[in-house]
A and B are shown apart, each in its own frame.
Chain A
Amino acid sequence: MEYVLETNNLSKKYKDSLALDRFTMHVPKGSVYGFVGQNGAGKTTLIRLVCGLIKPTGGEYTLYGVHSDSKDIAKVRRRMGAIVETPSFYAEMTAKENLRQQGLLLGLPSFDYVDEILKLVGLGNAGKKKAKNFSLGMKQRLGIAIALVGDPDLLILDEPMNGLDPQGIVEIRELILSLNRERQITVIISSHILDELARVATHYGFIDKGRMVKEMSAREVEAAYRKRTYIKVTDTKALARVLDDMNITYEISSDKEAYVFDKIGVSQLAILLEKEKCEILSMQEKEESLESFYISLVGGGDHV
């Protein structure tokens, strides 16, 4: 598999705290890489390192095969666009002027791209409104538009859904999907809004306390979800005996409630329970969310 970004034992230490601890990740080309972690887990630190805003205290990374210590690392960054924490733009300028400035910065020969990009991000009608007067969603889209100037292959978005209203979240999600599918842009999104991330990501990296807990494809994550069935019965002791005989994994949560983690034949279970004089009161199949999967990965405790 071809990777656009790889990190190897990357570490970043601030005065007292270790923000990244021998962090290793692999971002496949063409993927939407969901970078999952709670606040302070080290997501933004990694993004800032890759963007060259801070320097690592240990380890290394490669961007498009160019080593982080190489002189060419700044050049290769021209192939990427990023929004780190908050979108960056000239607040006094209009959306068009901002895109022209970015074009000048990158040394683009013409401004033909301006209208196309503004239309793509849904700012075609922003007109002469100054960026400082934009709504939060418009600012986020302007940030993405600026990141898209120069036709990048890699887009890094740090918490792009933060603070957006439901409509704004849907618009940004659709934009990310269209950029990935229609323009083949690899996208790295850091977020802790996991339900939204689950709708766009093709790959995941789970980070906790500065360390990569696990990297998985979306399919692997879905397969790893533990499907469970909630059962309410009159006698959980009888249920336990039956499930033990059937060699099925389960968890008793009260004297009448239990969770079953393997697939079960409902009719067979009902017949066997009837023999034990136990009645099924209710039954419901539940699916684990990405959120609960993440918590099960990093361990509950101090996590949301």
Chain B
Amino acid sequence: MFKLFRVDFYHMFYKKWFWIFTAFMVASAVGFCAMQYTAMDYVVALDRVIFLPMAFFGIAAAALVGMVIGEDFSDGIVKNKMISGKSRASVYFANLVASTLGCILMYLFTIMISYGMGIHLFENNVPFEKLLLFICLGFVTICNYAAVYCMVTMIVGNKSLALMFCMGIAFVLLFLSIHVDGMLARPEMKDGQINPFYVSGLKRTIYEWIHDINPTGQAAQLSQMECLFPVRYVIAALLSILLCSLVGYGVFCRKDIK
């Protein structure tokens, strides 16, 4: 599998897509910093800015994974790997690892730019431990994104369709995250009385899990640098990664490669 991974990883950087989507994420990091710096009439805290570009990450990751793996299918590279005696398991997981590493590098570039600019422009209210925790949570989210989009692309197996499905899912996850975030943000008390629309009990727990399993829900928490249950966040992401990988690999194993 290492040989396959090496080829996939090399291929990821050889193609223009990685650099295009990384440039998009870096530009969004610069843009957010500039907007926060110029638009606000008060000193903005650093924790409001560092992870703000993560709001777009789902779309960039969908495009990157869909394009790179999808092109492998369209160019016949996946077919070639299997003719060369590579097992379906190694083809699937090498693509997953390469996609994950590609997304992680895109994330690191984005965060470095965001932090590098932010520390000079905004009030530094982020202790090192908190920064480290959220960077690590970011890694978990990236792995979650890569697992979702890798599953979709390996199942669809066609560049145009994969891109369409990945982008579609990116927006579905975004809208789901906005909806769930809105539900969870409802205050318990309103005008001194209990808010009847406050989500509580089991329903709240279910919503919280949905928000944590959804990589865009995780990205929303990252962008605000607020995560109430980091352990659940990690467990939910691991569950999502495991589920996506099992489903993706299972379907890919039965798939006729064209």
Q: Which residues of A come within 8 Å of B, CB atoms?
A: 48, 51-55, 74-78, 80-82, 84, 86-93, 101-102, 104-107, 146-147, 150
Contacts and interface: CB of A to CB of B under 8 A. Distances in A.
Interface string B76-107: 11011111111100000000000000000000
A104 B79 contact: no
Interface of B: 3-4, 6-7, 10-11, 14-16, 75-77, 79-87, 254, 256-258
26 contacts: A48-B257, A51-B83, A52-B82, A53-B257, A54-B257, A74-B87, A75-B85, A77-B83, A80-B83, A84-B76, A88-B75, A89-B80, A90-B75, A91-B75, A92-B15, A101-B7, A101-B10, A101-B11, A102-B80, A104-B7, A105-B4, A105-B80, A105-B84, A105-B86, A106-B84, A146-B80
Given A53-B79, A53-B256, A87-B76, A104 B85 contact: no
Nearest to A93: B14
Nearest to B4: A105
A92 B72 CA distance: 11
Given A52-B83, A89-B76, A101-B10, A107 B257 contact: no
Contacts of B77: 88-90
Given A93-B14, A101-B7, A53 B84 contact: no
A84 B81 CA distance: 12
Contacts of A53: 79, 82-83, 256-258
Contact of A51 (B7, B82, B87): B82
Contacts of B7: 101, 104-105
B209 to A, nearest CB: 37
B213 to A, nearest CB: 32
B75 A89 contact: yes
Contacts of B84: 77-78, 102, 105-106, 150
A87 B15 CA distance: 20
Given A104-B6, A104-B7, A105-B3, A92 B14 contact: yes
A84 B10 contact: no
Given A53-B257, A92-B15, A78 B85 contact: yes
Given A48-B256, A53-B79, A91-B75, 8 more contacts: A74-B87, A76-B85, A77-B82, A78-B84, A88-B75, A90-B77, A105-B3, A105-B86
A75 to B, nearest CB: 6
Contact of B3 (A52, A55, A107): A107
A51 B258 CA distance: 12
Nearest to B90: A74
B83 A84 contact: yes
A279 to B, nearest CB: 63
A84 B85 contact: no
Contact of B80 (A78, A80, A88, A91): A88
Given A77-B84, A88-B77, A104 B10 contact: yes
A55 B85 CA distance: 15
B83 A82 contact: yes
Contacts of B14: 90, 92-93
A150 B6 CA distance: 18
Contacts of A82: 83
Contacts of A54: 256-257
A80 B84 CA distance: 7
A88 B76 contact: yes
A53 B254 CA distance: 10
Contacts of A51: 79, 82-83
B163 to A, nearest CB: 16
